[in-house]
């Protein structure tokens, strides 16, 4: 026994209580303690049953992810599970909070399972680039059938206790103290002389069309391997005897453990949690937030207001006249109706938000009590400055004044007020009530408690908040601008936008840059190009074909045509036949002889441009750490989670290889492909981006 497993005797039941806060992860010590606990219970005269229960807020959240990538130490979890199941004693699991991954596998090794009504169960290993590796793919199909098991394992989705009961994964639901309930259940089972019930002895479930399932899951995963591999593991549970199935599962698990995808996804898991931990802000209390103001009720302002309402904040939204304000209310109402439809809020909550929590006004004076105001008006410095002048006049002392600008200089906006320390950028992504990313843009003068308030708001709204410094485009849009240019250059030199989109979708992006531009609206990038044109370095290459599309009124999805053409109401288009002739005309005018690009070269150039600019953003201190950039791209730009982010991708590729790419490409365009100083420095020191993450 050890300090991770408490042993107690209650009559003829032995209780093994896991005590490994915060979530009872199955670390080496816990696994050892469970083995020893089972030995002790079996040797303890008079004990007839064992109850497994977790202390604190969860039964077990799974294997200890921090141990992944290190040499696995005995006892291994599959052996612990088999040991539990094979016990001659009756084994009961009492589940509360979460039972995830190895946690559910331990429970499935018990002979009976009881759970709290709000308990959550799941096998989320695919989100870590893995499959269950301690019998989950063999035991779950035996208790719940192949369909339910495939659904849970390939999606990693969590299931609430009532659904788990209906699936046969648990035997009973009861509210109360997990240990007391588990004890009563174990005693009742003993009283009824219930038999041991090892899942491994249950009959194998019925087969399905495995190849079709494999192909469907592979397609849906956009290049992610583990969900498809999970289909093969479940197949083994049907086609092989239990022990052979376990071996097959173990082999697949070990193979996946060695993949880059596993590393990328585990990086994402920890980075998502580390991103909001802000060195230097420890102990700094955020300002109180009960009511917020939003200036502007367009798509962005309405989305921000919706997010704030959904989080329980009061919202005062300012528009220029009553008619426009009513249109904003319509947008918010439609957003909330979506939340109601998805079961996120009740009808009463929706009514309360619209009738009481939301106030629409046309006079800035209505903001006098707001704790924080977010401006979401037209992207133009003069307009923003006018708004901030008025806010400065009406807002109470201590109110946080935020701008949702996506690229303007927040220092300049702040300087136009008498309270620059209270000014911050809060850059939401559209639709703001859905997208998880929030860039918290900190100016030279923003005070620490205002920064803390930005992060507190992000947390309250359920966002992944990332600190960014001031520059054109902050972290995300600045890097986007660079990799979009790389795509543009490839189009000028011979690739088609459609080949580029397809290659990047194969890499795992939700969408390629041209399909994405169609979705965002080609007019947005067009306006940006016009804004930048006077400041552009003469060596910069910028294609004109997209301008030609815009001049013809093709702004992408919203006009039915852009790089692709869209049938009425369709979001997936077919290549616009006019695009290639525009591009060919431009190549001819520039004297470019087009050449072929392979898909691999397209991906390599696009990623190299992204990672090189990301390195520059970190080197300049715009992002604090490489992982901050990774999270921005993951949560705001459709970057494939299984690569962990552009700088994790760079680490996995190897920084010398990345630098060699950049230097090779620089032979064609020395201006665009200038290596980032930080990249050069890390290569010369033999270090990588993760070393910087670890250094904080
Ligand atoms: C597995 O089980 C493989 C097996 O099939 C086979 C093995 C052979 N390990 O998220 P939170 C930490 S794979 C280590 O902020 P919440 C987390 O880092 C595993 N640490 O809280 C954080 O630490 P810190 C399958 C873990 O309430 C703290 O706990 N299981 C683990 O929002 C609090 O976490 C999973 O994939 C872990 N397994 O959410 C479950 N889990 O405070 C992954 C959490 O230092 N975990 N921590 O930043 C989760 O989904 C969420 O963390 C959970 C709690 C829902 C549990």
Please tell me the distance from the alpha carbon of residue 609 to that of residue 623, in angstroms, as a whole number: 17
Question: Which atom of ligand 1 is closest in space to residue 72's alpha carbon?
Answer: 8
For residues 403 and 539, state if they share a domain. Answer: no
Residue 224 CA, distance from chain mean position: 15
Residue 268 lies in a domain: no
Cα(274) to centroid(ligand 1), Å: 13
147 is catalytic: no
Cα(66) to centroid(ligand 1), Å: 9
For residues 506 and 366, state if they share a domain. Answer: no
Residue 485 Ramachandran class (φ > 0 left, ψ -120 to 50 alpha, else beta): alpha
Task: Kindly name the residue from 19, 67, 105, 674 that is annotated as catalytic.
Answer: 105
Task: Kindly name the residue from 85, 125, 179, 613 that is annotated as catalytic.
Answer: 125
For residues 323 and 385, state if they share a domain. Answer: yes
For residues 159 and 306, state if they share a domain. Answer: no
CATH of the domain at 351: 3.40.50.720
CA atoms within 13 A on the CB side of 63: 31
Residue 275 lies in a domain: no
For residues 578 and 606, state if they share a domain. Answer: yes
Please tell me the distance from the alpha carbon of residue 473 to that of residue 598, in angstroms, as a whole number: 30
Residue 276 lies in a domain: no
Question: Which atom of ligand 1 is closest in space to residue 131's alpha carbon?
Answer: 5
Pocket test for ligand 1, best of 20, 21, 65 (most atoms within 8 A of CB): 65
Pocket test for ligand 1, best of 23, 99, 249, 253 (most atoms within 8 A of CB): 23
Question: Which atom of ligand 1 is closest in space to residue 105's alpha carbon?
Answer: 5
Please tell me the distance from the alpha carbon of residue 89 to that of residue 109, in angstroms, as a whole number: 12
For residues 379 and 507, state if they share a domain. Answer: no
CATH of the domain at 530: 1.10.1040.50
Overall number of domains in the chain: 3
- Closest C-alpha to ligand 1, atom 41: 61
- Closest C-alpha to ligand 1, atom 49: 61
- Closest C-alpha to ligand 1, atom 5: 132
Cα(63) to centroid(ligand 1), Å: 8
pLDDT at 81: 98
Q: Per-residue pLDDT tens for 392-415?
A: 999 999 999 999 999 899 999 999
- Closest C-alpha to ligand 1, atom 53: 61
For residues 213 and 311, state if they share a domain. Answer: no
User: Count of residues for the chain?
Assistant: 696
Strand partners, 425: 403, 441
Please tell me the distance from the alpha carbon of residue 132 to that of residue 108, in angstroms, as a whole number: 12
Cα(23) to centroid(ligand 1), Å: 7
Cα(251) to centroid(ligand 1), Å: 23
> Which of 418, 446, 468 is the last residue before a domain boundary?
468
For residues 448 and 493, state if they share a domain. Answer: no
Cα(631) to centroid(ligand 1), Å: 18
Q: Which H or E run includes 75?
A: none
pLDDT at 222: 87
Strand partners, 160: 120
- Closest C-alpha to ligand 1, atom 4: 102
pLDDT at 532: 85
Residue 282 lies in a domain: no
Please tell me the distance from the alpha carbon of residue 365 to that of residue 346, in angstroms, as a whole number: 32
Cα(278) to centroid(ligand 1), Å: 21
Pocket test for ligand 1, best of 4, 21, 25, 61 (most atoms within 8 A of CB): 61
- Closest C-alpha to ligand 1, atom 47: 23
pLDDT at 571: 84
Q: Which residues 6+ apart lie within 8 Å of 310 measured at CB?
A: 336, 339, 344, 345, 353, 433, 461
- Closest C-alpha to ligand 1, atom 51: 61
Cα(138) to centroid(ligand 1), Å: 23
For residues 511 and 454, state if they share a domain. Answer: no
Helix boundaries (H) for 420-576:
448-460, 476-493, 497-507, 513-520, 522-532, 545-551
- Closest C-alpha to ligand 1, atom 24: 273
Residue ranges of the chain with per-residue pLDDT less than 70: 1
Judging by beta carbons within 10 Å of its beta carbon (0-12, 13-18, 19+), is residue 663 exposed, middle or buried?
middle
Question: Which atom of ligand 1 is closest in space to residue 156's alpha carbon?
Answer: 36
> Which of 435, 468, 501 is the last residue before a domain boundary?
468
Cα(580) to centroid(ligand 1), Å: 49
In 3D, which of 32, 112, 109, 16 has the Cα closest to residue 64? 32
Question: Which atom of ligand 1 is closest in space to residue 120's alpha carbon?
Answer: 55
Pocket test for ligand 1, best of 4, 21, 22, 68 (most atoms within 8 A of CB): 22
pLDDT at 191: 97
Residue 38 lies in a domain: yes
Please tell me the distance from the alpha carbon of residue 307 to that of residue 434, in angstroms, as a whole number: 8
Q: Which residue's structure tokens are 């009514």?
A: 351
Cα(461) to centroid(ligand 1), Å: 21
Whole-model pTM: value is 0.94
Strand partners, 291: 314
Question: Which atom of ligand 1 is closest in space to residue 65's alpha carbon?
Answer: 9
Residue 253 lies in a domain: yes
Residue 20 lies in a domain: yes
Q: What share of the chain is helix, strand, coil (3-state, %, to 5)?
A: 55, 10, 35
Please tell me the distance from the alpha carbon of residue 385 to that of residue 102, in angstroms, as a whole number: 55
Question: Which domain, by its residues, includes 563?
Answer: 476-695
Judging by beta carbons within 10 Å of its beta carbon (0-12, 13-18, 19+), is residue 526 exposed, middle or buried?
middle
Structure tokens at 692: 């910087």
**Degrees to nearest 5, angle at CA 124 with 516 and 339:** 55
CA atoms within 13 A on the CB side of 376: 26
> Which of 230, 258, 286 is the last residue before a domain boundary?
258
For residues 584 and 633, state if they share a domain. Answer: yes
Question: Which atom of ligand 1 is closest in space to residue 23's alpha carbon?
Answer: 29
The dihedral sign for the CA sequence 231, 235, 238, 243 = negative
**What residues does ligand 1 touch, defined as CB less than 6 Å away?**
22-23, 25, 61-66, 77, 98, 100-102, 105, 124-125, 128, 132-134, 136, 273
Residue 249 lies in a domain: yes
85 is catalytic: no
How many other CB atoms are found less than 10 A from the CB of residue 323? 9
C-beta separation of 655 from 682 below 8 A: yes
Question: Which atom of ligand 1 is closest in space to residue 136's alpha carbon?
Answer: 5
CATH of the domain at 223: 3.90.226.10
For residues 420 and 460, state if they share a domain. Answer: yes
Please tell me the distance from the alpha carbon of residue 552 to that of residue 613, in angstroms, as a whole number: 32
For residues 340 and 315, state if they share a domain. Answer: yes
Q: Per-residue pLDDT tens for 246-290?
A: 999 999 999 999 999 999 999 999 999 999 888 888 889 999 999
Give, to the nearest 10 degrees, the angle between helix 655-666 and helix 677-685: 140
């Amino acid at each position: 026994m050890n300090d991770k497993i408490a042993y107690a005797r209650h009559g003829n039941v032995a209780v093994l209580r896991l005590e490994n806060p915060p979530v009872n992860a199955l670390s080496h010590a816990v696994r050892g303690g469970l083995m020893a606990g089972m030995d002790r219970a079996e040797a303890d005269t008079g004990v007839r049953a064992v109850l497994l229960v977790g202390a604190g807020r969860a039964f077990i959240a799974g294997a200890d992810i921090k141990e992944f990538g290190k040499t696995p130490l005995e006892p291994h979890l599959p052996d612990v599970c088999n040991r539990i199941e094979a016990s001659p004693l009756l084994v009961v699991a009492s589940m509360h909070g979460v039972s995830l991954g190895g946690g559910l596998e331990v429970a499935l090794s018990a002979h009976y399972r009881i759970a709290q009504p709000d308990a959550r169960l799941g096998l989320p290993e695919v989100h870590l680039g893995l499959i269950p590796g301690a019998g989950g793919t063999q035991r779950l199909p035996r208790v719940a059938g192949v369909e339910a098991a495939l659904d849970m394992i390939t999606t990693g989705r969590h299931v609430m206790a009532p659904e788990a009961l209906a699936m046969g994964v648990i035997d009973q639901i009861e509210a109360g103290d997990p240990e007391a309930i588990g004890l009563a259940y174990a005693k009742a089972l003993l009283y009824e002389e219930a038999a041991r019930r090892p899942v491994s002895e249950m009959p194998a479930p019925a087969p399905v069309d495995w190849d079709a399932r494999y192909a469907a899951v592979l397609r849906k995963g956009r290049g992610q391997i583990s969900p498809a591999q999970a289909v093969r593991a479940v197949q083994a549970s049907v086609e092989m005897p239990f022990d052979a199935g376990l071996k097959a599962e173990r082999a697949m698990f070990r193979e996946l453990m060695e993949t880059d995808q596993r590393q990328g996804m585990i990086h994402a898991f920890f980075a998502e949690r580390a991103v909001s931990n802000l060195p230097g802000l420890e102990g700094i209390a955020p300002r109180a937030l009960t009511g917020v103001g939003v200036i502007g009720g367009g798509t962005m302002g309405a989305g921000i207001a919706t997010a704030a309402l959904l989080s329980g904040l009061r919202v005062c939204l300012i528009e220029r006249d009553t008619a426009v304000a009513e249109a904003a209310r319509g947008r918010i109402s439609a957003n909330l109706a979506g939340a109601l439809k998805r079961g996120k809020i009740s009808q009463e909550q929706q009514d309360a938000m619209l009738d009481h929590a939301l106030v629409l006004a046309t006079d800035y004076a209505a903001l006098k009590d707001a704790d924080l105001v977010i401006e979401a008006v037209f992207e133009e410095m003069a307009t923003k400055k006018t708004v901030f002048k008025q806010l400065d006049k009406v807002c109470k002392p201590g109110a946080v004044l935020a701008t949702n600008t996506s690229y303007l200089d927040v220092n300049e906006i702040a300087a136009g007020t008498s309270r620059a320390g209270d000014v911050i950028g809060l850059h939401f992504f559209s639709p703001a009530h859905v997208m998880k990313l929030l860039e918290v843009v900190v100016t030279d003068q923003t005070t620490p408690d205002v920064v803390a308030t930005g992060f507190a708001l992000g947390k309250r709204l359920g966002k992944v908040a990332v600190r960014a410094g001031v520059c054109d485009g902050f972290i995300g849009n600045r890097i986007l601008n660079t990799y979009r240019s790389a795509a543009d250059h490839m189009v000028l030199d011979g690739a088609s936008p459609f080949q580029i989109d397809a290659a990047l979708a194969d890499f795992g992006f939700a969408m390629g840059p041209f399909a994405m531009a169609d979705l965002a609206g080609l007019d947005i990038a067009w306006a940006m190009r016009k804004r930048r044109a006077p400041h552009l370095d003469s060596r910069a290459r910028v294609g004109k074909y997209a301008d030609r599309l815009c001049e013809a009124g093709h702004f992408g999805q919203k006009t039915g045509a852009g790089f692709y053409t869209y049938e009425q109401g369709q979001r997936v288009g077919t290549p616009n036949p006019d695009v290639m002739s525009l591009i060919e005309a431009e190549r001819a005018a520039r004297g470019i002889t087009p050449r072929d690009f392979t898909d691999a070269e397209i991906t390599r150039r696009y990623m190299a441009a992204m990672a090189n600019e990301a390195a520059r953003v970190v080197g300049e201190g715009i992002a604090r750490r490489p992982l901050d950039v990774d999270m921005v791209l993951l949560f705001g730009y459709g970057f494939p989670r299984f690569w962990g982010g552009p700088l994790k991708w760079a680490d996995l590729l190897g920084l010398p290889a990345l630098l060699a790419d950049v230097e090779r490409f620089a032979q064609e365009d020395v201006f665009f492909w200038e290596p980032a100083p930080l990249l050069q420095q890390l290569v010369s020191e033999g270090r990588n981006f993760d070393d910087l993450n670890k250094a904080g």
